[in-house]
Amino acid sequence: MTDARVEVRDLEKRYPVQKSVFRSAKDFIHAVDGINFKIDPGKSLGLVGESGCGKTTTGRMLVKLLEVTGGEVLLQDSGEIIDISHITDKDDLRRFRSDVQMIFQDPFESMNPRRTVYDTIAEPLTVQRIGTVPDREAKVAELLNLVGLTPAESFMFRFPHELSGGQRQRVAIARALIVDPTFVVADEPTSMLDVSIRISVMDLMLKLAERLNVSYLYITHDLAVARYMCDRIAVMYLGKIVELAPTEQLLTNPMHPYTKALLSAVPVPDPTYNRPPVEIKGGISKSINPEPRCRFYDRCPMAREDICGVNDHPPLEEKAPDHWVACYLVDKQPA
């Protein structure tokens, strides 16, 4: 591991499909099927793809809400490297919990309606027994100011129902940041918010990333949002990363046929703009015991039976400088 803050190696999540109580499972859903990426300190990686592609599963494994079934997640903590998928040591677990935090999609469901803003934000401190009560209050007030809920005293003892969606999501951000994490997984944090409020929450997250040097894994289905938020974007399809590149590079020069289809399907807020046709076939294929061939084979407009149909899913290769693509038919571009 170099100086990346987070590195994911061959990460895998398989769910057994139980057909009978008396027999062990023979079939597995390959939700996440061996993915690799790195996120540098203070940088953000956008994980985009359609529903069911495994992006949320990936995020949840990174915060240990789901157990991994293969591969490893390495986290750099002040020079030391912890494999967070296989933590056995109690101290490591504690460090992990203050290093890694998550922001959830739905600000209306991710908060206990019977607890005040203070209780919600201070909970990580209480659980981890950090500081005294006055310390915690001061810290909560500081964070409320940081996320723009001012004056802090007027928000501290409110209940979630007294807050708007945008304010709740700010509370969720404050809760994630109170333990000074170095890495935050944000799963569609703005998709439930109205456009006008969305921008201020996104701007807040960008500002905090810069100021606190936090790394983000930003999970979204919205490529325009990913563009605004992320330094790099990884496109997932059926449990695999099919393309990974710096944001503008990916948008202007997509190489994988799936990325091309995805980009051409995004509506553009300009009535004079004519999108290119979306070149994709059929519906999404199954992820139960996938066939040993390219995952995108059934839907790919340029698939070749003699190459894509007989070989296993192509590896993610660097086809241009820092531009990684998993496709047999994309040629390496000269540097």
Partner 1 sequence: MTTPLISDATGGLKTGDTLLEVENLIMRYKTKQGYVSAVEDVSFVLHKGEALGLVGESGCGKTSIALSLLRLQADNGKILGGEIRLGGENLVALSEDDMRKRRWQDISMVFQGAMNSWNPVYRIGDQIKEALDLHWPTKLNRAETRQRIGDLFALVGLPSDAQDRFPHEFSGGMRQRATIAMALSCNPQVIIADEPTTALDVIVQDQILKELKKIQADLDMSIIYISHDIAVIAEVTDRMGVMYAGKMVEFGATSDIFSAPRHPYAWLLLSSTPSIVGPRRQLAPLEGEPPNLLDPPSGCRFNPRCPFATDQCRVEEPPLQDIGDGHQVACWNYEEVPVGITAGGVV
Least distance in angstroms from the C-beta of 295 to partner 1: 15
Site stretch for partner 1 (CB under 8 A), options 12-20, 89-97, 188-196, 313-321:
188-196
Residues 6+ apart with CB under 8 A from 4: 38, 39, 40, 41, 76
- Of 199, 212, 307, 329, the one binding partner 1 by CB under 8 A: 199
Least distance in angstroms from the C-beta of 149 to partner 1: 13
| By CB under 8 A, residue 50 contacts partner 1 | yes
Alpha carbon distance 246, 249 (integer Å)? 5
- The closest alpha carbon to 140, from 110, 170, 104, belongs to 170
| Cα 17–chain centre separation | 25
Residues 6+ apart with CB under 8 A from 212: 177, 180
> In the structure encoding, which two tokens stand for residue 223, read together?
């490529």
- The closest alpha carbon to 225, from 204, 195, 250, belongs to 195
- Of 79, 113, 134, 267, the one binding partner 1 by CB under 8 A: 267
Give the amino acid at 57. T
Query: Using N-to-C axis directions, what is the helix angle for 165-177 and 195-212, rounded to 10°?
Result: 20
- Of 43, 95, 198, 260, the one binding partner 1 by CB under 8 A: 198
- The closest alpha carbon to 101, from 124, 85, 131, 132, belongs to 124
Applying CB under 8 A, the site for partner 1 has a residue count of: 38
Binding mask 280-309 for partner 1 (x = CB under 8 A): x--xx-------------------------
Site for partner 1 in 233-262 (CB under 8 A): 248, 251, 261-262
- The closest alpha carbon to 46, from 172, 233, 208, 196, belongs to 233
- Of 1, 133, 268, 288, the one binding partner 1 by CB under 8 A: 268
> In the structure encoding, which two tokens stand for residue 44, read together?
């953000």
Closer residue to partner 1 in complex, CB, 74/265? 265
- Of 2, 78, 132, 196, the one binding partner 1 by CB under 8 A: 196
| Helix/strand/coil for 236 | strand
Alpha carbon distance 76, 82 (integer Å)? 6
Closer residue to partner 1 in complex, CB, 138/224? 224
Closer residue to partner 1 in complex, CB, 155/183? 155
Site stretch for partner 1 (CB under 8 A), options 39-47, 126-134, 200-208, 290-298:
200-208
| By CB under 8 A, residue 224 contacts partner 1 | yes
List C-alpha distances in Å: 23 to 18, 68, 164.
8, 23, 49
- Of 130, 179, 197, 307, the one binding partner 1 by CB under 8 A: 197
Least distance in angstroms from the C-beta of 69 to partner 1: 26
> In the structure encoding, which two tokens stand for residue 159, read together?
């209940």
Least distance in angstroms from the C-beta of 110 to partner 1: 18
Site stretch for partner 1 (CB under 8 A), options 55-63, 177-185, 219-227, 320-328:
219-227
Alpha carbon distance 311, 82 (integer Å)? 35
Least distance in angstroms from the C-beta of 187 to partner 1: 16
| By CB under 8 A, residue 210 contacts partner 1 | no
> In the structure encoding, which two tokens stand for residue 128, read together?
């981890």
Helices marked H in 147-222: 152-156, 165-177, 195-212
Least distance in angstroms from the C-beta of 325 to partner 1: 19
- Of 24, 51, 88, 132, the one binding partner 1 by CB under 8 A: 51
Residues of this chain that bind partner 1 (CB under 8 A)? 50-51, 164, 166, 194-200, 202-203, 221, 223-225, 227-228, 248, 251, 261-263, 265-273, 275, 278, 280, 283-284
